[in-house]
Structure 1
Amino acid sequence: MKILLTGGAGYIGSHAAVVLSQAGHEVIIFDNFSNSSRSVISRLENILNKKIVCIEGNICDFALLENAIQKNQIEAVIHFAGLKAVGESNAKPLEYYANNVQGTISLLQAMQATGVKKIIFSSSATVYGAPKYSPIDEEYPLSATNPYGRSKIFIEKILQDLAISDQSWSIVCLRYFNPVGAHESGLIGEDPEGIPNNLMPYLAQVAIGKLAKVYVFGDDYQTLDGTGVRDYIHVMDLAEGHLAALAYACRQTGFEAINLGTGKGSSVLEIIKGFEVASKKTIPYEIVGRRFGDVAVCFAKADLAKKKLGWSAKRDLSDAFKSAWKWQNLEGK
């Protein structure tokens, strides 16, 4: 199939591009490179040993999207494009709603205008807000503690309404937990601008000497070592989840929301120790106060993905640590 990947040069999108291409699909990347590097395209071409079509543009540009879908005879869309920093969303809510919600509406209008009705949406476990229990299943009530999370909820509701209004649409919302790691080649990985918001790239930058130490937010939770527990999923497992979701969307119509996680949690201190082993570096850390809104334990119930998609996470955290460290040491990235 010919598949449009919005935000396809980003962290998760680029890994999905590899998996989809290697499965025989033709991927067309649509990205404005606001939070990704143009060099990702050449690195993808290196991994895949073929040219990648890339269209530079903003998802709020209906005309450009419509033209891209028509010109490239797109059959399905995987929608990764979106602003995603929780803290920044609190400071710039209008920017987040305009880009994430308005941008998705533009994309859906372009799809509707061109008769393309298969979409996989990159959602997030942030739609569960501050959950009161784990594992979290897809029936857990949706809520959010920040504009980023609310933008994901709004988009899911729009997609649900669209599927109800027109039963020929095939829509799958994938609710990611905590993606980590990199492609085994070390050529693509998580490359945040400025100080990383996520634990794994922060650890990598401490290990390489770019940052001084890791701050651990709280060690007095009701967990084995007192630090927060999260569900960390290898990005390649996540990418393969999109391939499975695409196959599902080709078999079914309607709306489905599905968790992508491992179904088990790891603590912050466990992640730090694991990364020390992979990098052979000592990673200094400092325990500081809890962050507002953080919960003790948050991990997925991943049974629905197995049942509906035939997918489950296969890689372990040691694979994620090794690949992330290999990526961190890539020259000139």
Structure 2
Amino acid sequence: MALLQDDPQHTTPAVGTPDLVTDAPSAEPAPSEETLARARELLAAHPVADGHNGLARAIRSAPWSDIELGESTLDTDIPRLRAGGVGAQFWSLHPGPSDTGCAVSGVLEHIDYVRAMVGAYPEALRLALSSGEVGDARCCGRIASLLGPAEAPAIGSSLGTLRALHALGVRALTLTGTDWAPPTGLTRFGQEVVREMNRVGMVVDLSGTTPETMRAALTVSRAPVVLTRSGAHALTPHPANVPDDVLSALRENGGLCMVPFDAARTGSSVRDVADHLDHVRSLAGPGCVGLSGTYDTGAARPGALRDAGSYPYLIAELLDRGWPEADLARLTWENLQQVLRDAEFTAKAAQERRGPSTARIEELDA
């Protein structure tokens, strides 16, 4: 698979131009240069571990793309990831609206693409399958590349398929689109899926599920859960956003709500996104909030957060609101690392107690 192709009609923006990485749009007040410089210094020390990026899907419609030099047709490329201070990225394996066919084949194709992309740019990207490998990538100046989240239809009703996807590197699964995770919660087989995810060390992603399913998963899971792209329902009543009681429950679970840069879910400005972060932090605590750029997913962008180079504008806004550096470090890097470590610890303990589950949906949900 060719990741870079020449196209006579395609032009690549010059890397480092003001329009690419430095100027905030005039529609929203820009932070002071001093605050923006502080934000960039903070991100150099505490890079962003981002929860969701759709590049693997988006680039299929732009096969000529050059993500190494800069790509104006996409939200994401390596120069902007660097400018944005991104140190780790979950590359989404979700299918697009036009994708058809076997769900597991779609996930396998996404895995193949992400692995090929990482292999093509070894000076910038490094595949990471554990919290330790995420840290190693950062120490080597690479962007740690995590596989996931995938959507639950990719495993069908097979725990063996779940384990196979984990063996291929998938580290998060979104519990939507299946009979065993209906809007009313989790069936008995769905509960067993969560337990087996805990056992192998795959993170449970609850974004897009109903509050009933969120509550059911929090009851069953012994490892932290994540919401890879969800804001606060109390501020924006979008169906993918999280009610306050679930945010409060995240504190005990040690889970993570990763607030997206999505105008439909979190508002049309940087300040709106910051309001969601304030709300999540106040209810769940500073250890349970993270960032989700949701770039290259087709979502409308809030204000200055228009591409993967824009994270400093949000950090500048939070600095102006008085967020201490310790909380900002948790927000950008430490919280997701802690979730990964806790998931690995839970998996190790579970594997010492029992072997792979042999449960079948026809036995549990008959």
The two structures have a TM-score, normalised by structure 2, of 0.30
| Greater share of strand | 1
The two structures have a TM-score, normalised by structure 1, of 0.33
| Greater share of helix | 2
